[in-house]
Structure 1
């Protein structure tokens, strides 16, 4: 149990009960306090919504169990009772109180993802950061980048400098045999703008403008050309020496494949570093040994004489090759980087126009701005004062995220608060999005120096004994080949104790990469073995729904899915769950395209064919039937009317895109099937509509960018094989796991990395690279950087293997290439050999009892009904219409003022309300006028300036434990002004209410300087309360 001032790391290997430990420690802190609001002082951060929701559910579930009348029978409660030295009755009573308080104050139950926590910070500091208080969060970076690059290209012909640079880039790319279209290259490189990994270093490159960067780019291309020409001349010079001395390449040992071959390659523009033969001859002090057996004695003597000159040329060439390697490395990335600032400007314009902030730049903004503030100030502004911190999945924390969290940790350690980190560096598989497991390894290594308690969770509660033992033995053996940090990590982390589950089964199959016949196909052999394994598992009593097949890449997943579908084996995969793969959603998309563009005959034809298939082929010859529609001899409306489909709504105004979509679903009677897909699609349409104006064409453009990413949740209780990537399997478990392509990592794929450069012609100390090339030959410093990249690649692939093999509860099947020399397959080939099929542990045969739970769920019909039929206009509504127009506006403006901090928020708030359907276009001028009258009122104007810190509609708890929510609080140091908006006449209860707010805030330590009641009506009346 955590003690005051504890900084503790739980090192939790797979299946060790990480979430259970987190919840137990959380409850220990919670229930040791007499304060029923103790949960407000605890912050728990994790990295996925699934993990955050699971933790919340577990905490609430335990509190609910502790609150029941039979609490004395609860073993977890008894354990906590012993640890806390509290009577069970006290824990029971506190659980009841705290459960009630959490449910009634759920927004203060701080268990969330790091992104949501960051959003909370951003909202709190919106004014400090110069952000609109009502910014929208954009999750999809790719969409924004695509729009920004398209916007950039739209300036071609208008912006002379940009046009000139883009033309030069296109020409240079063509000369280098690269594509002139740099769209994809630009988008990929622009992503580094929002990468935690490259953030600080990339900022140094962004100091230069387009013209400067273009000059740098020209310098790079010029130097590449210069170095190549030098090397060609050296190659020619070497052969001129041979010609002058009347000898040939054949007089040298191995001819053009030996020492002299290096110069031959140079003169033929093959700029490779010298090979092993060249170096071996060069290091040989006896030049006579350079000669071939056929060389004459004269040739031998000549070679001995010219050897020093050739060696000198070789040395010179190697130095130039080193220069060339660096210049070429810069050349590969500088093209897109030269206009990366222009891309960012375009992104900023789009963000400003749409009032959005990318979730991926939260860490960047917090790091740049908030770390300047004292940590106490930062977290006071959130509205809570945390005393206990839990950080889950710490191995996936990026360097920048950890730096942003450090003020919390440092403040906690200085205040006798507690910090608990939980993770497992062996399960770090997100380096590509910034995860830095070395941070966790470093903290563990420095535990004594930093006074950190490290505890390994010793027991695996997930798997059966034989699977645990296999993983222990396998990874302990692999650990011997790793560097010191990871050797210790894998050796110590794979000494897991087993649980009460005996038995278990592990099978390994080796498949030869090449066969004896021409038609041999490795993939087909693997899939054939996979089918045998599936059949075997079923014969042992496992249902398909209990089997998971894990794969590394989408391409592998597609192969497996197609194969199993051919064999009539039902599967659930990310592909099958995609919205865009639903026939009903495809029909809606095609209908939208048809309606939005009458000239799009392709979409019209595809729509009619799709409709024919969905309606069970009412037309036998669909091609002939739709010809009149495609030739415009018959309208689509009349054609559909013949089969009793009415689309007249499509030619009348709709209230919103959501309304139009609902009418589409109803018109085509799509709600009979695929209800989950339809509901998710409607949710997506609603979310889009709240952020954007109703424009069908723009929606389709947005959908086209997003549709390959949107999928429904995996349905429960379906008897189908679960097919998923290893990344998606993390944190999950399955009775049977199969890994058919255990062979990834055979080719090193490098992310962008930085190397030092010292070039007088360039003002950079280091530059970003996208491949190794010949850089290893340049210097020991660069070689060390590349070795580090290679080692991280190796570790990341080993971690993937570890995650994959530790998902299994009862049976594990692995298929890997035979005699592999690279990648994770090497581990199996080195550790196991012999037969093509090896039973590594246990015997076949199901041990666990099949689950026979009743399906208690009921699928409700998906009902689509036009809103006009669902909503009745109230007969009392005329009373509202009789109100004065200003009072109606007053009610609406009161609600909108929650989002107003300064005058600059008015326009975006009104735009957002319009898109959300909360107001009509014709209401905007009147509302804007009324809002500006409030903001500019002589008694209020100062409180809408940047001079004050503003809390709008912020919840506080009074001394009775009740929630109070003043409309607006303006803070300046410890002095505050309370502003409350009212519509209608003045009432004494308004005074009583604002006085109650003031008393409550004063008890919290604030000095209430002014209390203002603002009456919104025909005119703005401000009443100062004494």
Structure 2
């Protein structure tokens, strides 16, 4: 258990029981405290919604178990009771009490993602950060990035310089054999602006405008051209020199591949570095050895005479060549980088127009705005005071995230509070979005200086013994090949896991050659897939079900390749691709129907709709070609007539609908897409409802939104389906599977190095660092760049090794690895990708290596019952016997009380008058109000926001806090309806229904008194009575 003022790090390798340990420590703090509200002082942070929900669920599950009548038999409770020196009975009572308090005050149960915690800070400090008090958070960032790029394109032809730069970017793409469509590249550029990895460097570039960048661009292109021309001039002088002296290229040592060939290549735009042979020959003190043995001996004296000039030309060329990669590297990126500020301006305009913040900019905003705030002040403003901090998956924390959390951590360490970090640097696979595993490694390495206790979780509870033994041995051997000592230590000491009591287990490695001359039309990918299929069949013959097999892959492209092959070979499969909404036939028909109805000129959609609908309905049109021709050039009436002939009435499509949801539901009903339960249709309707809540009824806009989202929207896999599961390695993190197969374990070669920033020290450029696309020969430029490349290279290798580690540690009982067999002549084994890890440890010539016996050790699972589909019914809402409307619950109440309560509820979301329509629309869609009530409710709400005494306090430029939780001195929560803040001044509004009461005055004074103790200066207090008329009373 954490002791007062303790900072502990748990190093938790794969399968070591990280979540169990975290939950146990959480419960230790929770139940060692007699106060049932102790959970309010604990903050637990993780990095995904899934992980946060799992942690919450595990904590609540344990509390439920501890609260059961048979608590005395619970081993976890007994162990915790013994550790805390509290009787089991007392633990039981405390658990029941805490569980009730959490469930009744769930919003105070602070287990969340770091993004949600950051949002709390942003809301609390909106005014300090210069934000609107009612800003929205944009989760769908790419959609906004795409809009910003479209805005840039709209300026083509109007802004001459911008047009020129965009054309140059397109031309660069074509020169690199890429598409001329640069929109995707610009969206990636926009994404980089909000990536923690690039924030510091990009901030330095933001001071340069497009005109300045254009001048830098000219300088870079000019310098690159000058250096290439200088090399060509050198080559020309060399050719002229030897020609004038009657010497040919073949007269030099090594002939055409010797020094003459080195210079000649320059004239063909090949500026390759000199080889070791070139360097050896040119440095020869005996010019005779510089001459070919086949050359006429009479040339020895001639070559000896011109040798000093050749040497000088060579050294001059080498000097230029050392600088050239720097300028070439910058030239490849400066065109696209020059546009980055224009992209940001476009994004900023959209954000301002839509009153949104991107979720990815939270860290940056908080870092710049809150670092100067005392941590105690931060706590007061968010209404909480935390004493215990848990940070899960710490290896994925970015530098900026950690810096933002440090004020809270330092405050905790200054008192008796506790901090616990849990993670495993070997499982850090998110560097591309800011994850910094070195951060955790440094804390562990310096734990004694920093007074941090480090505890390793020693045992692997997941895998069978042979899988544990394989991973221990395999990764410890790899550790010897890593160049950085910290990485060596991480993989050597971090792969010494103790075994559990699960015996046996099986590991199989298949080595597959990239080329095989003995087989005609041999294809490496095909060979891997054939072996994969054989492995699946072998596993199935051992008694495993298909749903116990998971295939992991490193890229979406490979996942698609695997899925197509297995489907072709009739292997049932569940993958992210197969679960996508857009891939369901019914959803595709709906999409095409909507496009057809919303635009009668869209002949392509009309044709595809009829073809797909005909296929789905088992060829209902006898002559499909004739049917399409009959409506193609006609208006929508012709389509209605055609479908009506075959029993499909779409007249609803030409009549008004209550909402988009209503229209979609009718489409499903009248096109008879509603048969047996279809999870795809259910999910699609949920998506339509969610969209309708925050968007107007406009099908064209909806279809644009759907187009931007459909590649990501998928249903959850159905329970009980006996099918192989296919997923990316990244998605598998934190999960486990009975059998894991890893085909194409060969990623990470030098072709895939990421972009990186290099230091710049050149008077021709104002930058101190710049982004380049590849290493090339940059390590030859200077020692500083060489050191940076080495660092980046080692990080790249670690990231690829970490991904391999995650993949090979998911297996419980059997692990199959399919990799490339190849010989590496490179002394650095790690340069050729992860396949070389396997090749270096298993002898050449063996096509298969196994550890353990290929038999099932576990008991076969009972065959799962496949969940029976429920009928998906879709019927006009007007005909339903029971209408689900909240308004019906209010019929028996007096009208003024009903409206008062309803207005009170809706005013929670009103920050200024412009919010009225949005809030009323949301209430209408959710069924809280009826259309007939809308205008009357709106008028009453307008009476509030425009009331002479209140109007100034609903100004959109003021910061307001609605229904925000605060704590009084006794730890009790109070929640004023509305606070309006102006600096440190505060005005309180509380809404009431019914008649006046002294209790109302006492309550608002109680709010004022406690807020004043928190440092607020209370200027005014208003009670707003909502009845037939709006009455406002100021409380003195």
Normalising by structure 2, what TM-score? Answer: 0.93
Is the Cα–Cα contact under 8 Å of residues 920 and 934 in structure 2 kept in the other structure?
no
For residues 849-877 of structure 1, what are the alpha-carbon distances to aligned partners after superposition, in whole Å with 9 as ceiling and x for unaligned? 11227649554332323333346599999
Is the Cα–Cα contact under 8 Å of residues 231 and 266 in structure 1 kept in the other structure?
yes
Cα distance in structure 1, aligned partners of 2:916 and 2:420: 40
For residues 403-454 of structure 1, what are the alpha-carbon distances to aligned partners after superposition, in whole Å with 9 as ceiling and x for unaligned? 1111121111112211111111111111111111111111111111111111
For residues 615-670 of structure 1, what are the alpha-carbon distances to aligned partners after superposition, in whole Å with 9 as ceiling and x for unaligned? 12223432233321224297111111122211111111222222221111111222
Cα distance in structure 1, aligned partners of 2:546 and 2:1032: 70
> Helix, strand or coil for the counterpart of 2:750?
coil
Alignment partner, residue 404 of structure 2: 404
Q: How far is the alpha carbon of 1:199 from its aligned partner? A: 0.4
Q: How far is the alpha carbon of 1:138 from its aligned partner? A: 2.0
Alignment partner, residue 762 of structure 1: 765
Is the Cα–Cα contact under 8 Å of residues 742 and 816 in structure 1 kept in the other structure?
yes
Query: What pairs up with 1:927-942 in 2 under 5 angstroms?
Result: 934=944, 939-940=949-950
Q: Comparing 736-745 with 956-965, which one deviates more in the overlay?
A: 956-965
Alignment partner, residue 906 of structure 1: 913
Cα distance in structure 2, aligned partners of 1:399 and 1:553: 27
Alignment partner, residue 260 of structure 1: 260
Query: What pairs up with 1:388-787 in 2 under 5 angstroms?
Result: 388-482=388-482, 483-515=484-516, 516-632=518-634, 635-673=638-676, 675-787=678-790
Is the Cα–Cα contact under 8 Å of residues 392 and 422 in structure 1 kept in the other structure?
yes
Q: How far is the alpha carbon of 1:840 from its aligned partner? A: 2.9
Query: What pairs up with 1:243-254 in 2 under 5 angstroms?
Result: 243-254=243-254
Alignment partner, residue 792 of structure 1: 795
Is the Cα–Cα contact under 8 Å of residues 677 and 870 in structure 2 kept in the other structure?
no
For residues 117-171 of structure 1, what are the alpha-carbon distances to aligned partners after superposition, in whole Å with 9 as ceiling and x for unaligned? 1122222222222323333322233222222111111122333443354456556
Cα distance in structure 1, aligned partners of 2:75 and 2:174: 72
Is the Cα–Cα contact under 8 Å of residues 133 and 900 in structure 1 kept in the other structure?
no
Cα distance in structure 1, aligned partners of 2:113 and 2:512: 42
Is the Cα–Cα contact under 8 Å of residues 71 and 77 in structure 1 kept in the other structure?
yes
Q: Comparing 870-879 with 411-420, which one deviates more in the overlay?
A: 870-879
Q: Comparing 754-763 with 407-416, which one deviates more in the overlay?
A: 754-763
Structure 2 gap segments, 5+ residues each: 825-831
Q: How far is the alpha carbon of 1:5 from its aligned partner? A: 1.0
Cα distance in structure 1, aligned partners of 2:786 and 2:722: 52
Is the Cα–Cα contact under 8 Å of residues 511 and 836 in structure 1 kept in the other structure?
no
Q: How far is the alpha carbon of 1:953 from its aligned partner? A: 0.8
Query: What pairs up with 1:169-184 in 2 under 5 angstroms?
Result: 181-184=181-184
| The one of 979, 989, 1002 aligned to 1:969 | 979
Q: How far is the alpha carbon of 1:61 from its aligned partner? A: 0.5
Closer, same or farther: CA 386–945 of 1 in aligned 2, 3 Å: farther
Alignment partner, residue 825 of structure 1: 835
| The one of 922, 947, 951 aligned to 2:961 | 951
| The one of 854, 871, 880 aligned to 1:861 | 871
Q: Comparing 131-140 with 147-156, which one deviates more in the overlay?
A: 131-140
Q: Comparing 968-977 with 586-595, which one deviates more in the overlay?
A: 968-977
Cα distance in structure 1, aligned partners of 2:976 and 2:729: 49
Q: Comparing 625-634 with 675-684, which one deviates more in the overlay?
A: 625-634
RMSD of equivalent CA atoms: 3.1
Cα distance in structure 2, aligned partners of 1:224 and 1:1007: 63
1:14 matched to 2:24? The reply is no
Cα distance in structure 1, aligned partners of 2:41 and 2:893: 48
> Helix, strand or coil for the counterpart of 2:499?
coil
1:841 matched to 2:851? The reply is yes
Closer, same or farther: CA 644–132 of 1 in aligned 2, 3 Å: farther
Cα distance in structure 1, aligned partners of 2:53 and 2:867: 21
Closer, same or farther: CA 888–57 of 1 in aligned 2, 3 Å: closer
Is the Cα–Cα contact under 8 Å of residues 12 and 422 in structure 1 kept in the other structure?
yes
Is the Cα–Cα contact under 8 Å of residues 66 and 77 in structure 1 kept in the other structure?
yes
> Helix, strand or coil for the counterpart of 1:813?
strand
Q: How far is the alpha carbon of 1:22 from its aligned partner? A: 0.3
Cα distance in structure 1, aligned partners of 2:971 and 2:416: 27
Alignment partner, residue 143 of structure 2: 143
Closer, same or farther: CA 929–772 of 1 in aligned 2, 3 Å: farther
> Helix, strand or coil for the counterpart of 1:613?
helix
Cα distance in structure 2, aligned partners of 1:83 and 1:876: 54
Is the Cα–Cα contact under 8 Å of residues 974 and 1007 in structure 2 kept in the other structure?
yes
Alignment partner, residue 829 of structure 2: none
Structure 1 gap segments, 5+ residues each: none
Is the Cα–Cα contact under 8 Å of residues 676 and 869 in structure 2 kept in the other structure?
no
> Helix, strand or coil for the counterpart of 1:447?
coil
Cα distance in structure 1, aligned partners of 2:887 and 2:404: 56
Cα distance in structure 2, aligned partners of 1:377 and 1:960: 18
Q: Comparing 292-301 with 947-956, which one deviates more in the overlay?
A: 947-956
Cα distance in structure 2, aligned partners of 1:454 and 1:1003: 40
Q: How far is the alpha carbon of 1:898 from its aligned partner? A: 2.6
Cα distance in structure 1, aligned partners of 2:1015 and 2:100: 27
Q: Comparing 974-983 with 954-963, which one deviates more in the overlay?
A: 954-963
Is the Cα–Cα contact under 8 Å of residues 287 and 303 in structure 1 kept in the other structure?
yes
Closer, same or farther: CA 285–81 of 1 in aligned 2, 3 Å: same
Is the Cα–Cα contact under 8 Å of residues 890 and 898 in structure 2 kept in the other structure?
no
Closer, same or farther: CA 29–178 of 1 in aligned 2, 3 Å: closer
Cα distance in structure 1, aligned partners of 2:675 and 2:820: 46
> Helix, strand or coil for the counterpart of 1:670?
coil
Is the Cα–Cα contact under 8 Å of residues 134 and 908 in structure 1 kept in the other structure?
no
Closer, same or farther: CA 499–909 of 1 in aligned 2, 3 Å: farther
Query: What pairs up with 1:195-210 in 2 under 5 angstroms?
Result: 195-210=195-210
> Helix, strand or coil for the counterpart of 1:814?
strand
Closer, same or farther: CA 880–637 of 1 in aligned 2, 3 Å: farther
Cα distance in structure 1, aligned partners of 2:23 and 2:878: 48
Is the Cα–Cα contact under 8 Å of residues 734 and 807 in structure 1 kept in the other structure?
yes
Cα distance in structure 2, aligned partners of 1:230 and 1:944: 69
Closer, same or farther: CA 120–858 of 1 in aligned 2, 3 Å: farther
Alignment partner, residue 239 of structure 1: 239
Is the Cα–Cα contact under 8 Å of residues 584 and 674 in structure 1 kept in the other structure?
no
Is the Cα–Cα contact under 8 Å of residues 944 and 1030 in structure 2 kept in the other structure?
yes
Alignment partner, residue 1022 of structure 1: 1032
Q: How far is the alpha carbon of 1:891 from its aligned partner? A: 7.0
> Helix, strand or coil for the counterpart of 2:665?
helix
Closer, same or farther: CA 486–758 of 1 in aligned 2, 3 Å: closer
Paired positions, count: 1021
Q: Comparing 868-877 with 828-837, which one deviates more in the overlay?
A: 868-877
Is the Cα–Cα contact under 8 Å of residues 1024 and 1031 in structure 2 kept in the other structure?
yes
Q: Comparing 154-163 with 771-780, which one deviates more in the overlay?
A: 154-163
Q: How far is the alpha carbon of 1:73 from its aligned partner? A: 0.8
Is the Cα–Cα contact under 8 Å of residues 748 and 793 in structure 1 kept in the other structure?
no
